Amino acid sequence: MFLLKPINKMWRGLTVFGRVGLLILVLLIFMAIAAPYLTWQPHHASSGPSLAPPGGAHLLGTDELGVDLWAQICYGARVSLIVGLGTALLAGLGGGIVGTFAGYRGGWSERALMRLIDIMIVMPDLPVMVVLAAFFGSSLRNIILVLALFSWSYPARIVRAQVLALKEQAYVKIARSYGAGALYIIFRHLLPELLPILAVSMIRLAGMAIVTEASLAFLGLGDPTSRSWGLIINHALNFRGIYFTPYWKWWLLYPWVFLTLLVSSLALLGRDLERIADPRVAKG
């Protein structure tokens, strides 16, 4: 019950778009968690004729092996969400720690970290990720690690800037003059201010990670036996002449629709949360 109040408060703070985004996101998360109850066909074994159109026993039709697409999409949501969540948490936490450390500590360690961040930002991520994915082998864990490795710099920069500003605040200075330790100040005074900003950038990262996982899978660098949405799209596009046949209307379209829904719901939610976390954005 105690959760209801903040949720209610947040709900009120959202715009219509934000609310729609949140609803879709909750629905998709529900879909991923309840996948075994929502589907009535196996998701990695054929259960019907190949390339059956939507309808009947197959809500969204089947792919060329005869595997039910609705089941694949429900279970595929797990892959996309795990990748999004995993990358966001890893990169958000890592980037947050690096940013706080750099901002609070200052000096040569800050300069070194900032140059590292600069390098990470100019590095063309997709080509390097393609190389890394090919090099480390393509398992889900590796993909999350590689994605996190390439996205921590974004939250780190934002957090550092915020820490730099907060460090100069009078109450922080006073706390320090009373002899408060670095950890105390970080946890007591900085963290509450940083969390909303970090949360917003993590939502952005999640959206980015989901799209990147899909594009890696689409390029054939995903875990080929997992059934992520990107991989369904990859298989569909590898089907020769799919655009000349009616098959793209379900095999290609539905995973694309769900991918788009997930990413845009994250984007809508992220925009609203950003406004809440930093009221200046709303004014500007």
Partner 1 sequence: MLVKGVKKKNCWHVALVFALFLSLLAGAAGCGGKPEPALGAAVPAPATPPPGEVAEGKAAPREPLVIRLEGGDWGYCSPFTHYPRGPGIFKMQLIFDSLLERGEDGYIPWLAESWEVQNDGKTYLFNLRQGVKWHDSREMTADDVVFSINYYQEHPPVSIFFGDVLRDPEYLLEVTAVSKYQVRFVTAGPNATFLPAAGLARIIPKHIWEHVDNPQEYLEAEAVMGCGPYRLTGYSKEHGTYRFEAFEAYWGPKPRVDIIEFVPVSDNVLAFEKGEIDLTEVPADLLPRFQNNPEFAIKENPGFWGYRLIFNYERNKLFQNRELRQALAYAINRQELVEKIGRGAAIPGNPGILSRHHVWYNPSVPEYAYDPERARQILQQQRLAGLSFTLLVGQDREVRIGELLKEQLARAGIQIQVESVDMKSRDARIREGQYEIALVGHGGWGGDPDYLRTRFASGLSDWYSGTPGYHNSRVDELARRQILETDENKRRALIFQLQQELALDVPEIPLYNTTGYSVYRPAKYDGWMYMFDHHALSHSKLSYLDWK
Whether 265 contacts 20, CB under 8 Å: yes
Distance, in Å, from the CA atom of 276 to the CA atom of 282, rounded to the nearest integer, reads 8
CB of 64 to partner 1, least distance (A): 6
Return d(Cα 261, Cα 63) in angstroms, integer. 21
Find the shortest distance in angstroms from Cβ 88 to partner 1: 28
Q: Do the Cβ atoms of 104 and 163 come closer than 8 Å?
A: yes
- Closest CB 55 distance from partner 1, rounded Å: 20
Q: State which residue, 58 or 204, has the beta carbon closest to partner 1.
A: 58
In the complex with partner 1, the residue whose CB is nearer, 36 or 224, is: 224
Name the residues that contact partner 1, by CB under 8 A. 44-46, 50, 64-66, 134, 220, 224-225, 235, 238, 240-241, 244-245, 247
Q: Which of 30, 79, 115 is nearest to 229 (CA)?
A: 79
Q: How far apart are CA 133 and CA 215, in angstroms?
A: 12
- Name the minimum Å distance from CB 224 to partner 1: 4
Closest CB to partner 1 among residues 2, 244: 244
- 3-class SS at 258? helix
Residue closer to partner 1 (CB basis): 13 or 224: 224
